[in-house]
Amino acid sequence: MHDQTLLPKLFRTEYRNIVSVLSYLFGIEHIEIAEDLVSDTFLSATELWSIQGVPENPKAWLYTVAKNKTKNYLKRNTLFEKKLSPEIKYSADKTEEIELDLSVKNIADSQLAMIFTVCNPTNSTESQIALALNLLCGFGIQEIADAFLTNKEVVYKRINRAKEKLKETNIKIQQPTLQEINDRLDTVLKTLYLLFSEGYYSTSQDTILRKDLCSEAMRLSIVLIENEATNTPAINALFALMCFHSSRFEARMNDNGEAVLYQDQNDSLWDKELIETGTVYLNRASTGHVISKYHLEAGIAYWHTQKEDTREKWENILSLYNNLLILEYSPIAALNRTFALSKTNGKEEAILEALKLNLADNPFYYSLLGNLYSDIDNKKAVQYFETALKFSNSAIDKQTISKNIQRLTNG
Amino acid sequence: MNEFLIVIHRDLKSEDASPSPEQMQQAIKPFQDWVGGIAAQNKLANPPKRWDLDGRVVKQNNVVTNGPYAEIKESVGGLFIIKAADYDEAVEIAKGCPIIKWGATVEVRMATPAV
Amino acid sequence: MNEFLIAIHRDLKSKDASPSPQQMQASIKPFQEWIGNLIEQDRLVAPYKRWDGEGRVVKQDAVTNGPYAEIKESLGGLFIVRAKDYDEAIEIAKGCPILQWGATVEVRMAL
């Protein structure tokens, strides 16, 4: 009886490895050939394994078949072979054929090259993420559609348009040069951060899918960390941030599928190992002179892994939010900063600051005011919460706000 | 919305300057809270930089002297740019500077469109 | 590479100030050239801004009108440049076209 989940699992992990190496070999113009060869390989696996049984080393089997199919393809297409980049063309003297290099090192190098290809600012960030999920993470079109809460056609078009754009701009899939790393690492980090956020903040009910998105973002971050040229403090900070957030995955939703707020979470469900790992990487990130916004967010996330409500915790969080806002304004950071201020300097002062924020259409703004006025002026608090309800678009948030109103009106 | 320059003038040279070095140290956090508060309102045009106490002053005939500009006891300590509706609003923001109480002076100037 | 503040001080208040309004007018073009060169050399850190002659001064117990001018040297213009060190920054500062009429240029390095 063979395991029905084996091939899908292998597809998820090996598709991207083989596609990366093949794309590296063929270039972006022929990426469909790379994809076809790999799909063909998995098709063979599906057909043959159901008859012959699963081989002893399934991964090695896949790699061997992929190599053979590639060899055959190149033999049949000598014209195509001549167009391959000079470095991989074999000279007339060599009688060996081109061997597909699926070594650990070449897979890692190809992945790195692909990351920089996929995270190209010529495409929108949505397209970059979709392409990343498809080519770098082995997600199928339907899975990506589920992740984005959209339909297959939209995703299909988005990915194809993104590939076309890359072909138009004649992108080379290659090891990023130092210049490219300097210019594009920001975009790469942003894309990985957004990929992670898709999983972490997604309102989709499919928990497994959401966890997959997060772990893919983390895996790709490690690819960057393990390559000396791209191992910057910022990527270490970003990875630390992802660890800290992920540590609370189990505690964020209760058995009824309702969101559990941070202050109500059962911290015994927090993953201590992930917290420790995050701390290690945060320390590694604390080298050099540049503080990126990921450093600040990771610092804030670190303090949130300490559940106890100490003065030190909130003073640090306030200071980190101050620095984050000075670096880059965002309404959420402004609101969270004001909340931290209420913890260090009291609600009255925080209310004065909050009223200066001017975030008129933002439901979280009214929630914050409702929260700050609670137990100071409950009538005002309820009014603000009701305004928050009006502006909120999220069923989960509305639930939370309604609970707050209930609590205040029942005394 | 206009841009306003906030310039903090204080005595950088005298031994008995006020604010003193200790007072400046105490002011670090209040300063960060002040600027953080401005940033939270999305009114900070760019992050403030810290300026050294070294400095040079260039005059005509290629005369160059050391030290920050300080004909009297009020050199440029810090400066940054904010966004505000008008002078009144900018002045309200300026009043939040935590070292005014120790003798620093805050100058506010409005940006005019560059030619 | 460091960042340096270039702060131009001049008399904004006296009737017989030097540079005079005519001299300021005459310096517009040389000024644009000075800044233009810096932009071309990719030395200008943020877009150049001009500051009005109105101003407010906030003290402990009072808010007064006018730019800060305890003496005849208020802040005229200021901007931030990139330079290797003070020597390089001073060379840039010497290009200020109104030095010849009594303005003073202060140079400070960013920490």
* Percent above pLDDT 70 for chain A: 92
Query: Searching chain B, which residue's CA lies closest to the CA of residue A356?
Result: B41
Q: From the list B29, B36, B48, which residue is nearest A325 (CB)?
A: B36
Rg of chain B over CA atoms, in angstroms?
A: 15
* Interface A:C, ≥3 CB–CB pairs < 8 Å: no
Task: Give the model's pLDDT for residue A398.
Answer: 87
Q: From the list A319, A327, A353, which residue is nearest B40 (CB)?
A: A353
**Chains touching chain A at 3 or more Cβ pairs under 8 angstroms?**
B
Query: Searching chain C, which residue's CA lies closest to the CA of residue B74?
Result: C70
CB contact under 8 A, A333 and B32: no
CB contact under 8 A, B41 and A319: no
Closest-CA distance of chain A to residue B32, Å: 7
> Is pLDDT of A409 > 80?
yes
Residues 6+ apart with CB under 8 A from A175: A109, A112, A113
Task: Give the model's pLDDT for residue C72.
Answer: 63
Q: From the list A318, A319, A329, which residue is nearest B39 (CB)?
A: A329
CB contact under 8 A, B58 and C93: yes
Distance CA A288, CA A126 (A): 32
> Is pLDDT of A94 > 50?
no
Specify whether the CB–CB gap between B19 and B31 falls below 8 A. no
Task: Say if A337 is an interface residue toward chain B (CB within 8 Å).
Answer: yes
Q: Which residues of A touch B40 (CB under 8 A)?
A: 325, 329, 333-334, 337-338, 353, 356-357
Query: Searching chain C, which residue's CA lies closest to the CA of residue B102?
Result: C60
Overall average pLDDT of the B70-92 stretch: 82
CB contact under 8 A, B35 and A326: yes
Query: Searching chain A, which residue's CA lies closest to the CA of residue B30?
Result: A319
Cis peptide bond upstream of C19, omega within 30: yes
Task: Say if A360 is an interface residue toward chain B (CB within 8 Å).
Answer: no
Cβ neighbours, 10 Å, residue B55: 23
Task: Give the model's pLDDT for residue A95.
Answer: 37
Specify whether the CB–CB gap between A21 and A100 falls below 8 A. yes
Q: Among A183-192, A323-332, C47-56, C77-86, whose mean pLDDT is lowest?
A: C47-56
Q: From the list A319, A325, A358, which residue is nearest B39 (CB)?
A: A325
> Is pLDDT of A135 > 80?
yes
Q: Which residues of B touch C18 (CB under 8 A)?
A: none
Q: 3-state SS of A258-299?
A: CECCHHHCCHHHCCHHHHHHHHHHHHHHCCCCCCCHHHHHHH
CB contact under 8 A, B58 and C94: yes
Among A226, A220, A200, smallest CA distance to A128 is for A220
Suggest the residue from B33, B80, B95 to mutate for an interface test with chain A (most A CBs closer than 10 A).
B33
Task: Say if A329 is an interface residue toward chain B (CB within 8 Å).
Answer: yes
CB contact under 8 A, A358 and B35: no
Task: Give the model's pLDDT for residue A91.
Answer: 38
Query: Searching chain C, which residue's CA lies closest to the CA of residue B47?
Result: C46
Q: Among A263-272, B89-98, C61-70, whose mean pLDDT is lowest?
A: C61-70
- Residue C17: left (phi > 0), alpha (psi -120 to 50), or beta? beta
Overall average pLDDT of the A196-217 stretch: 80
Task: Give the model's pLDDT for residue A89.
Answer: 47
Query: What dihedral angle (degrees, nearest 10) is formed by the CA atoms of B71, B74, B75, B79?
Result: -150
- Which pair of structure tokens corresponds to residue C12? 């904004």
Distance CA A292, CA A301 (A): 14
Q: Among A25-39, A41-55, B70-84, C85-99, whose mean pLDDT is lowest?
A: B70-84
Query: Searching chain A, which residue's CA lies closest to the CA of residue B46?
Result: A326
Helix (H, G, I), strand (E, B) or coil at A202: coil
Q: Which residues of B touch C66 (CB under 8 A)?
A: none
Q: From the list C46, C63, C111, which residue is nearest B51 (CB)?
A: C111
Q: Among A185-199, A345-359, C55-69, whose mean pLDDT is lowest?
A: C55-69
CB contact under 8 A, B111 and C49: yes
**E strand intervals along B22-74:** 56-59, 63-66
Query: Angle B12-B16-B17 (CA atoms, 0-180°, nearest 5)?
Result: 35
Task: Give the model's pLDDT for residue A154.
Answer: 92
Distance CA A76, CA A80 (A): 9
Q: List residues in chain B touching A: CB distance below 8 A.
A: 29, 32-33, 35-37, 39-42, 44, 47-48
Q: Which residues of B touch A327 (CB under 8 A)?
A: 47
Task: Give the model's pLDDT for residue A176.
Answer: 81
CB contact under 8 A, B107 and C99: no
- Which pair of structure tokens corresponds to residue A25? 């070999």
Position A312 confidence tier, pLDDT thresholds 50, 70, 90: very high
**Chains touching chain C at 3 or more Cβ pairs under 8 angstroms?**
B
Cross-strand pairs, B49: B79
> Is pLDDT of A53 > 80?
yes
Overall average pLDDT of the A243-264 stretch: 81
Residues 6+ apart with CB under 8 A from A284: A233, A236
- Going from the C-alpha of C30 to that of each of A7, B62, C17, C21, C98, the distances in angstroms are 73, 18, 20, 15, 9
pLDDT digits 0-9 by tens, B34-45 = 999 999 999 998
Report chain A's mean pLDDT, rounded to a whole number.
86
Task: Give the model's pLDDT for residue A208.
Answer: 73
Q: From the list B40, B42, B47, which residue is nearest A338 (CB)?
A: B40
> Is pLDDT of A98 > 60?
yes
Torsion sign (Cα): A409, A394, A137, A182: negative
Position A267 confidence tier, pLDDT thresholds 50, 70, 90: confident
Specify whether the CB–CB gap between A182 and A230 falls below 8 A. no
Task: Give the model's pLDDT for residue B70.
Answer: 67
Distance CA A33, CA A17 (A): 15
Instruction: Name the most confidently modeled range: A64-78, A265-279, B5-19, B46-60.
Output: A265-279
Task: Give the model's pLDDT for residue C100.
Answer: 82
Query: Searching chain C, which residue's CA lies closest to the CA of residue B48?
Result: C110
Helix (H, G, I), strand (E, B) or coil at B54: coil
CB contact under 8 A, B47 and A319: no
The helix (H) or strand (E) run that includes residue B80 is strand B75-84
